[in-house]
């Protein structure tokens, strides 16, 4: 049995999804970054179903989604003036802030941490759902643990259709990579995961360069504690530069090119952005990886991109897929 899929633009669909959330069910919903698998953040049993549906280890905490920044005190205690500045500038949007949690947030949501990841998504359907449900929604990306995140409703149905009660279809996600996670629970603040909001924008807003977290900052999610993951089932390698002709003797090879490519001999080619624009490339990355992964290829080669703007998030996700970036996991 596959989940029911309703158009996210319909008010009746939002009302029904909100009642599923209030009743302890699971709703997959669109955000501007990727699709989320949502449950009432204040209902530990519902949140437990999220972990089960994704086969996600219980030590990997979930992000809590709010309708508006004004709801923040429900889940986080805020004593930091930078929060107002960041929230005022970037919410709703692809920024998750890690802050000290309130007692109202069940331990299962934060995997026992005393901090909580919070964001206000910038998608009309996500906003409407949060308002109608009247509760914060805990939601990881709606993919099985270890696989590429979903950027369409069809991606969700293919992999988690049996495990969700309802899928809201809001079309392809605009940003296409997950939110940038900034921890304000440490000094100085650090980016725990590069994502849909460029590091340069965070640095400009805070008036100081923002560092990427080190492996030590990422504890208890430190490398080595986690099983190794493929982001695609097909082995993926990152090239040093623009693609050359397909390597001989490697079988059927797929190419994930950044811009137009004349390289010969590939069984399939996915171009992320005709003009090389990094935001466009980020928006198309996961769908392109999924299409290549569905072709039973022997190898996927991926062209690198500059690590500025959304290129930082693209390279982070590619390194996870290539299993070379052990500081992050693909959850």
Q: Are 136 and 42 in contact (CB under 8 A)?
A: yes
CA quadruple 317, 207, 74, 219: dihedral sign = positive
Q: Which is nearer to Mg ion, 284 or 320 (CB)?
A: 320
Question: Least separation, in Å, of the C-beta of 12 and ligand TXA?
Answer: 23
Give Rg (Cα) of the chain: 19
Instruction: Pick the piece of the chain touching ligand TXA (CB under 6 A) from 27-35, 157-165, 260-268, 317-325.
Output: 27-35
Is residue 331 close enough to count as binding Mg ion by CB under 5 A?
Answer: yes
Q: List all residues 6 or more positions away from 98 whose beta carbon is below 8 Å from its beta carbon.
A: 115, 116, 117, 118, 181, 182, 183, 184, 185, 192
* 3-class state of residue 97 by DSSP: strand
Instruction: Pick the piece of the chain touching ligand TXA (CB under 6 A) from 12-20, 57-65, 242-250, 295-303.
Output: 57-65
Instruction: Pick the piece of the chain touching ligand TXA (CB under 6 A) from 136-144, 164-172, 295-303, 308-316.
Output: 136-144
Stretch (H or E) spanning 242: none
116 binds, among Mg ion, ligand TXA, none (CB under 5 to 8 A by kind): ligand TXA
Instruction: Pick the piece of the chain touching ligand TXA (CB under 6 A) from 113-121, 151-159, 163-171, 261-269.
Output: 113-121
Is residue 151 close enough to count as binding Mg ion by CB under 5 A?
Answer: no
Dihedral through CA 147, CA 151, CA 153, CA 155, nearest 10? -30
Tokens of residue 180, six digits: 């940038």
Binder among 25, 27, 31, 202 for ligand TXA (CB under 6 A) = 31
* Rounded-to-integer distance, Cα 253 and Cα 173, Å: 28
Binder among 33, 151, 159, 234 for ligand TXA (CB under 6 A) = 33
Task: Tell me the per-residue interface mask from 110 to 149 with Mg ion, x by CB under 5 A, - otherwise.
Answer: -------------------------------x--------
Is residue 122 close enough to count as binding ligand TXA by CB under 6 A?
Answer: no
Is residue 238 close enough to count as binding ligand TXA by CB under 6 A?
Answer: no
* Rounded-to-integer distance, Cα 155 and Cα 293, Å: 13
Q: Are 146 and 320 in contact (CB under 8 A)?
A: no
* Rounded-to-integer distance, Cα 312 and Cα 181, Å: 13
* Rounded-to-integer distance, Cα 5 and Cα 157, Å: 8
Instruction: Pick the piece of the chain touching ligand TXA (CB under 6 A) from 108-116, 208-216, 288-296, 318-326.
Output: 108-116
Binder among 62, 132, 255, 258 for ligand TXA (CB under 6 A) = 62
Burial class (CB in 10 A: 0-12, 13-18, 19+), 217: middle
Binder among 139, 163, 167, 287 for ligand TXA (CB under 6 A) = 139
60 binds, among ligand TXA, Mg ion, none (CB under 5 to 8 A by kind): ligand TXA
Alpha carbon separation from 100 to 43, 74, 78, 88, 151 (Å, rounded): 19, 12, 7, 19, 30
Is residue 110 close enough to count as binding ligand TXA by CB under 6 A?
Answer: yes
Is residue 234 close enough to count as binding ligand TXA by CB under 6 A?
Answer: no
Helices of type H across 261-310: 278-293
Question: Least separation, in Å, of the C-beta of 169 and ligand TXA?
Answer: 15
Is residue 331 close enough to count as binding ligand TXA by CB under 6 A?
Answer: yes
Residues that bind Mg ion (CB under 5 A): 141, 331
């Amino acid at each position: 049995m596959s989940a029911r899929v309703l158009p996210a633009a319909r008010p009746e669909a939002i009302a029904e999804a909100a009642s599923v959330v209030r009743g302890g069910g699971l709703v997959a919903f669109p955000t501007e970054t990727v699709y989320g698998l949502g449950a009432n953040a204040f209902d530990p049993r519902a949140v437990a179903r999220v972990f089960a549906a994704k086969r996600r280890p219980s030590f990997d905490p979930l992000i809590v989604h709010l309708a508006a920044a004004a709801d923040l005190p429900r889940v986080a205690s805020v004593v930091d003036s930078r929060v107002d500045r960041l929230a005022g500038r970037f919410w709703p949007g692809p920024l998750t802030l890690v802050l000290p949690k309130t007692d109202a947030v069940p331990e299962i949501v934060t995997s026992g941490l005393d901090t909580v990841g919070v964001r206000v998504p910038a998608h009309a359907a996500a906003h409407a759902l949060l308002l109608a449900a009247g509760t914060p929604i805990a939601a990881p990306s709606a993919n099985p643990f270890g696989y590429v995140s979903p950027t369409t409703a069809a991606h969700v149905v293919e992999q988690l259709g049996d495990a969700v009660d309802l899928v809201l279809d809001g079309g392809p996600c605009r940003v296409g990579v997950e939110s940038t996670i900034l921890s304000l629970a440490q000094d100085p603040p650090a980016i725990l995961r590069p994502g849909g909001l460029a590091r340069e924008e965070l640095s400009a807003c805070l008036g100081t360069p923002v560092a990427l977290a080190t492996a030590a900052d990422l504890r208890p999610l430190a490398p080595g504690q986690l099983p190794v993951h493929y982001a695609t089932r097909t082995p993926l390698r990152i090239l040093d530069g623009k693609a050359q002709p397909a390597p001989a003797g490697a079988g059927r090879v797929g190419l994930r090119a950044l811009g137009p490519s004349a390289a010969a001999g590939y069984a399939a080619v996915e171009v992320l952005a005709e003009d090389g624009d990094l935001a466009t490339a980020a928006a198309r990355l996961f769908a392109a990886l999924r299409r290549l992964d569905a072709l039973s290829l022997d190898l996927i080669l991926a062209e690198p991109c500059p690590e500025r703007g959304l290129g930082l998030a693209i390279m982070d996700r590619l390194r996870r897929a290539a299993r070379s970036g052990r500081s992050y996991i693909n959850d």
